């Protein structure tokens, strides 16, 4: 039995539309995240059985669920779209875990909703497996993120450029409330609902925040930490539209996301990001842009006068300093420095410059610092050696530094070519590669001989250069 307590569905009319998932022909469980099920207080054995799978596919509604599609708007690639909303996701409801934490349980790919526009409301297996692997890796590494509870196939095909196997992801999130949710009401001048939404978010995510200004400050802080975490992994979200930015600070909506192999600061993978708006090194700037949109939504709740605008502006402008501090903490730890000093920034930047010049592998270059293999990643190792002299002088004791690095530099990441491999096998009904990669990604700091292959950079013919939207 799952105990629901659906606080969002108790908000008044206008925040969502009641919508049921559309049943699918032949649901089959591909993956169940048992540790997460346990954390939520769910019975994993029941979930993996026929009744559980029917629920995870949207074929039956658990007691207490109040399925809804949430309304939101959003800036997509800089242009405002007043009406987006859950077009291929249905929120079943909220559960309160044994430790008191509240989570949304959402089925992504659950069929059309009133917000589907021209879409079919479905997802295919590829993006479902990708989101499952990547979001769980992010969680294992310690980056705020939505989680993946389960993946099921539907026994139906979805039509994209070709016919593809359909799937549903059960996503778990602190909430699915986005910057775009605020924009939806702000754009309509609906001050009353804006206030209700702000009150809801404060009660749910920032209970000690004193009002709209404080809410803005907290979201700025959370986003600064999350995005610094992305940067430290070479992660590129790919579609940082305001409707894909969570006010809880969790990474959300893994679409054409990717991790860099060779380091290039302006790296872009997404096929639709023609101008590199969401390139790796643009992510902190885009976060500020998005947070400025959030701030302008909150101004009406902060007095709606010049003083409110000045206050909101000041808070948004606090992002760079917060972000820089998180960045320094994350990257210094990657060099084995637990208590960074301002001058460490230059040391880190010099290494990144050398890495960029050689397109050295991002993950391997850092992971190899502890065992001396990092220099193998460079075409010009003499320059690396010169840098390493300064680095060694700074850290002094390599074994102390190695302990810090062991928790900051993952042995492996969800490499794009590995994900593609898993998806290709999954399309043939073989999920063994998925489960093997999932197990390895859940232990990002643990070395095991059978996982060595996952640490390798792609061979030239394996390199993935483009990724596509989640649809
Ligand atoms: P995204 O940027 O991928 O998170 O999606 C942007 C918007 O498109 C959201 O409102 C989605 O709900 C909607 N959308 C994406 N794919 C589909 C689909 N297959 N069917 C209906 N709506 C979709
Ligand atoms: Mg989205």
pLDDT digits (tens, 9 = 90+) for 38-96: 999 999 999 999 999 999 999 999 999 999 999 999 999 999 999 999 999 999 999 99
Query: How many angstroms separate the CA atoms of 183 and 80, rounded?
Result: 9
8 A C-beta contact, residue 415 and residue 454: yes
DSSP state of 424: H
DSSP strands (E only) in 324-435: none
Q: Is 253 in the pocket of ligand 1 (CB under 6 A)?
A: yes
Residue where one domain finishes, among candidates 374, 408, 442: 408
Q: Is 87 in the pocket of ligand 1 (CB under 6 A)?
A: yes
User: Residue 286: helix, strand or coil by DSSP?
Assistant: helix
| pLDDT of 237 | 98
Query: How many angstroms separate the CA atoms of 49 and 29, rounded?
Result: 9
H helix count then E strand count, the chain: 16, 12
Taking residues 167-172, report their average pLDDT.
Answer: 98
The continuous run of DSSP H or E covering 57 comes out as: none
DSSP state of 354: H
The answer to whether the annotation marks 171 as part of a ligand binding site is: yes
Does a structural domain hold residue 346?
yes
Does a structural domain hold residue 470?
no
Convert 295-347 into a string of H (helix), E (strand) and C (coil): HHHHHHHCCCCHHHHHHHHHHHCCHHHHHHHHHHHHHHHHCCCCCCCCCHHHH
8 A C-beta contact, residue 58 and residue 19: no
Question: Which residue has a Cα nearest atom 7 of ligand 1?
Answer: 84
8 A C-beta contact, residue 147 and residue 139: yes
Q: Is 122 in the pocket of ligand 1 (CB under 6 A)?
A: yes
Q: Check whether 428 has a pLDDT greater than 70.
A: yes
Taking residues 424-450, report their average pLDDT.
Answer: 98
Does a structural domain hold residue 417?
no
The answer to whether the annotation marks 253 as part of a ligand binding site is: yes
The answer to whether the annotation marks 429 as part of a ligand binding site is: no
Closest CA to 390 of 365, 362, 369: 369
Closest CA to 244 of 113, 74, 467, 126: 74
Q: What is the pLDDT of residues 281-338, one digit of tens each?
A: 999 999 999 999 999 999 999 999 999 999 999 999 999 999 999 999 999 999 999 9
Residue where one domain finishes, among candidates 154, 173, 192: 173
Residue where one domain finishes, among candidates 150, 173, 196: 173
Q: Check whether 452 has a pLDDT greater than 70.
A: yes
Does a structural domain hold residue 360?
yes
Atom of ligand 1 nearest to the CA of 255: 3
| pLDDT of 1 | 79
Q: Is the pTM of this model over 0.75?
A: yes
Q: Check whether 103 has a pLDDT greater than 90.
A: yes
When divided into structural domains, the chain yields a total of 2
Active site residue ranges: 243
Tokens of 124: 């295919």
pLDDT band at 469 (very low <50, low <70, confident <90, very high): confident
| pLDDT of 468 | 85
Does a structural domain hold residue 207?
no
Does a structural domain hold residue 427?
no
pLDDT band at 279 (very low <50, low <70, confident <90, very high): very high
Q: Check whether 471 has a pLDDT greater than 70.
A: no
Atom of ligand 1 nearest to the CA of 121: 20
How far is Cα of residue 91 from the mean position of the Cα atoms in its chain?
18
Closest CA to 146 of 120, 123, 177, 125: 177
Does a structural domain hold residue 237?
no
**From ligand 2's centre to the CA of 375, what distance in Å?**
40
Does a structural domain hold residue 136?
yes
**From ligand 2's centre to the CA of 86, what distance in Å?**
8
The residue range of the domain holding 363 is 335-408
Q: Using a pLDDT cut of 70, give the percent of the chain over it.
A: 100
Question: Which residue has a Cα nearest atom 16 of ligand 1?
Answer: 471
Q: What is the pLDDT of residues 186-211, one digit of tens each?
A: 999 999 999 999 999 999 999 999 99
- The DSSP bridge partners found for residue 94 are 104
- The DSSP bridge partners found for residue 151 are 31, 169
Task: Kindly report the backbone phi and psi dihedral angles of residue 164, in degrees, each rounded to the nearest multiple of 5, phi listed first.
Answer: -135, 155
Tokens of 157: 């095909």
Tokens of 84: 């987006």
Q: What is the pLDDT of residues 355-391, one digit of tens each?
A: 999 999 999 999 999 999 999 999 989 999 999 999 9
Atom of ligand 1 nearest to the CA of 471: 16
Question: Which residue has a Cα nearest atom 12 of ligand 1?
Answer: 87
Question: Which residue has a Cα nearest atom 4 of ligand 1?
Answer: 253
Q: How far apart are the first and last CA of the chain?
A: 32
Taking residues 116-124, report their average pLDDT.
Answer: 96
Q: Is 368 in the pocket of ligand 1 (CB under 6 A)?
A: no
């Amino acid at each position: 039995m799952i105990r629901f307590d659906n606080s969002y569905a108790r908000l008044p009319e206008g925040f969502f539309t009641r919508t049921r998932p559309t049943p699918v022909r032949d649901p089959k469980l591909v993956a169940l995240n048992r540790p997460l099920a346990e954390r939520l207080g769910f019975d994993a054995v029941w979930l993996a059985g026929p009744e559980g799978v029917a629920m995870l596919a949207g074929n039956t509604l658990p007691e207490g669920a109040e399925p809804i599609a949430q309304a939101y708007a959003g800036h997509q690639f800089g242009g405002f779209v007043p009406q987006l909303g859950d077009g291929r996701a249905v929120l079943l409801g909220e559960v309160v875990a044994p430790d008191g934490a509240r989570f949304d349980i959402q089925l992504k790919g659950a069929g059309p909703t009133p917000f589907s526009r021209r879409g079919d409301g479905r997802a295919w297996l590829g993006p479902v497996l990708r989101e499952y692997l990547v979001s769980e890796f992010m969680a294992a590494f310690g980056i705020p993120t939505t989680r993946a509870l389960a993946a099921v196939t539907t026994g139906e095909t979805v039509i994209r450029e070709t016919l593809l196997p359909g799937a549903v992801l059960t996503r778990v999130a602190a909430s699915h409330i986005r910057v775009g949710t605020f924009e939806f009401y702000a754009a309509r001048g609906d001050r009353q609902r804006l206030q209700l939404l702000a009150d809801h978010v404060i009660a749910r995510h920032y209970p000690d925040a004193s009002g709209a200004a404080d809410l803005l400050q907290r979201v700025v802080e959370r986003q600064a930490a999350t995005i610094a975490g992305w940067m430290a992994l070479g992660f590129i979200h790919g579609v940082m539209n305001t409707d894909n930015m969570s006010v809880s600070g969790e990474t959300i909506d893994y679409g054409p996301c990717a991790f860099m192999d060779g380091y290039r600061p302006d790296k872009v993978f997404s096929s639709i990001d023609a101008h590199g708006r969401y390139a790796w090194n643009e992510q902190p700037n885009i976060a500020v842009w998005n947070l400025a949109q959030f701030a302008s939504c909150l101004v009406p709740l902060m007095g709606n006068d010049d003083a409110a605008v000045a206050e909101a502006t000041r808070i948004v402008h606090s992002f760079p300093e917060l972000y820089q501090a998180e960045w320094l903490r994350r990257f210094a730890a990657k060099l084995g420095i637990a208590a960074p000093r301002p001058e460490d920034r230059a040391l880190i930047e010099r290494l990144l410059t050398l890495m960029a010049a050689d397109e050295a592998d991002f993950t391997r270059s850092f992971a190899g610092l502890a065992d001396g293999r990092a220099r193998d990643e460079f075409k010009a190792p003499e320059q690396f050696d010169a840098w390493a002299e300064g680095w060694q002088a700074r850290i002094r004791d390599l074994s102390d530094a190695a302990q810090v690095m062991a928790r900051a530099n993952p042995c492996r990441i969800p490499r794009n070519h590995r994900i593609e491999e898993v998806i290709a096998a999954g399309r043939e009904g073989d999920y063994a590669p998925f489960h093997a990669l999932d197990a390895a990604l859940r232990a990002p700091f643990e070395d095991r001989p059978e996982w060595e292959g996952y640490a390798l950079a792609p061979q030239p013919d394996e390199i993935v250069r483009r990724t596509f939207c989640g649809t």
